[in-house]
Chain A
Amino acid sequence: MKGSNASCIDSCGKLKAKAGDEMERKLEIDKSADVIRLEGVSFSYNGTPVLRNINLLVEKGEFLAILGPNGSAKSTLLKIMLGLLVPKAGEAKIFGRKIKNFKEWNKIGYISQHASNTNISFPATVMEIVSSGYYPGFGKIFNKSKIKEAAENALKEVGISHLATKLLGHLSGGQRQKVFLARALVKKPEALFLDEPTTGIDAASQREFYELLDKFHKEGGTVVMVTHEVDAALRLADKVGYMEDGEISVYENNDSLSKILAYRLLGKSARRGI
């Protein structure tokens, strides 16, 4: 395990606390350590259940990668964590609050799955897009210098200051993903949520993107990333969640994880007769 102080709850609803009751008590007292807490979450699309009784805890500073075959509802789970979808049963909490009561959006950065399919003819510059990630609140239109400074810092952090005045449509796929990362970082979030962030970009850009993500994590940031890339998950994450048949199994990232994942991935293929 890579420095994780995690506990996880398995898909059958039983808490796998690392240190039993003592850990439970700690969680009750120190709610601030929770970034995400899902309890008994179920979800269905048009009557077809896609998530069943999911229990999951992501603590501050953790990096959770979520793997699983296509259609295993990985993105759905991420959207429930963020309140973009409402679970049919169970409860989702973020930073210790029920999602409907959560207001501290500056703590969260998000890169959606469709960021890679964004309308690239949208006539906005990199600076304008990155600035849009910083929302000072309704009616606050006179703090432009603060927003500009935050956007410049985010561009610098991601290494794309030289692209500030370029239109989004003039960038490569890898550069665009960095723009979206800068937009997510502009408000200096405590946690980043990413949904297949490197889909469709070249290997060199992927590597650079993951280096930036690793830096964010090593500086104390929490990361939840839905991905298909097993290598990246094994290299970067503290915990890996594997989703299948509407359930999630969470594993600490230790020496045996690659074997477990290989077994699960191959097992699924074997069952499908591949």
Chain B
Amino acid sequence: MDMLSFDFMQRAFAAGIIIALLASIMGVFIVLRRMSMIGDSLSHAALAGVAGAMLIGINTSYGALAFSCIAAFLIEAIRSSFNKYAEVALAVVLSGGMGLAAVLISLGKSFNADLMSYLFGSLVAVSSQDLIIISILGSFLMFSMVLLYKELFAVTFDEETAKLAGIPVKAVNICFTLMTAVVVTLSIRIVGALLISALIVIPAAVSVQLARSFKSTFFISAVVAVFSVISGLYISFLFDLAPGGTIVLIAAAILMVVLLVKKLKGALN
């Protein structure tokens, strides 16, 4: 493929595949915990972090990471006050993050164009340094998910029973939300703050429809996400389209096809 002769495309593919794996695997837990909007909430907070970092002139990744981690703690704190209404916490942090981002953006009028790449993602925005950060943090996150698999499964299925099995539910929830914050921060470069939620939610939604066991949900989700990223990057390069949007549209199309086929199968049976 010609496009792989470009360094920036190689980096985009490498980063895209790592992010697709991370977002889709985390996405299974996120969707099953009915926290599908967490990606949106954290990414809006991360956007405020990006704007803040640009304002004071530091690496935007650090700003995004710091703000989304703070937002993750806030979500957990607010969630414990609204036990059965997790979405309240998500909506509060989403609006707060966006509000802060708007204020910070208005303070630094000159960086609006740069910020666009964080809103919708940008292929050229992935630098070598970004790829190194994504690889290191990605490996760490994968290791954490393997280590916490039993805890995450039990807490996702039933928090109360998990607590009585001796699992430190609160600590697991905090770890999980922080891990999500890191995935969101890393993903912003690829699909953008406005679309990251789709990369987390859609592959997981496809996998829940097709899976025959919990372990197979991860496999299906990862395949859908990686396929969407690879084909999305390829098509966006060929037709000069926005890569983030293309990736998300492909994932959404897969979901539509799966739902349609299931409906047809149901009707025929």
Contact = CB atoms under 8 A, between A and B. Distances in A.
B164 A125 contact: no
Contacts, number: 76
A128 B154 contact: no
A121 B212 contact: no
A43 interface: no
A82 interface: yes
A128 B214 contact: yes
B163 A128 contact: no
A95 to B, nearest CB: 13
B82 interface: no
B167 interface: yes
Nearest to A110: B164
Interface stretch (A64-72, A134-142, A252-260): A134-142
Interface residues of B, number: 28
Nearest to B163: A84
B213 A110 contact: no
Nearest to A187: B165
B164 A123 contact: no
Contacts of B151: 135, 138
Determine chain B's interface SS by DSSP, over half rule.
Answer: helix
B213 A108 contact: no
A119 B215 CA distance: 17
Contact of B212 (A139, A167, A187): A167
Contact of A84 (B32, B164, B168, B216): B164
A106 interface: yes
A122 interface: yes
Q: How large is the interface on A (under 10, 10 to 19, 20 to 34, 35 or more residues)?
A: 20 to 34
B68 interface: no
Interface string A49-89: 00000000000000000000000000000000010100000
Nearest to B210: A123
A133 B165 contact: yes
Interface in B190-239: 207-208, 211-217
Given A132-B150, A135-B166, A124 B214 contact: yes
Contacts of B7: none
A162 interface: no
A105 to B, nearest CB: 3
Interface in B154-197: 154, 157-158, 160-168
B267 interface: no
Contacts of B146: 141
A123 B154 contact: no
23 contacts: A84-B164, A110-B161, A110-B164, A123-B212, A123-B217, A124-B213, A125-B212, A128-B214, A129-B157, A132-B150, A132-B154, A132-B157, A133-B161, A134-B165, A135-B150, A135-B154, A135-B166, A138-B151, A138-B168, A165-B213, A167-B212, A183-B161, A187-B165
Given A123-B217, A141-B147, A167-B212, 15 more contacts: A84-B164, A106-B166, A110-B164, A114-B158, A114-B160, A123-B207, A123-B213, A124-B153, A124-B213, A132-B162, A135-B166, A138-B168, A139-B147, A167-B213, A183-B161
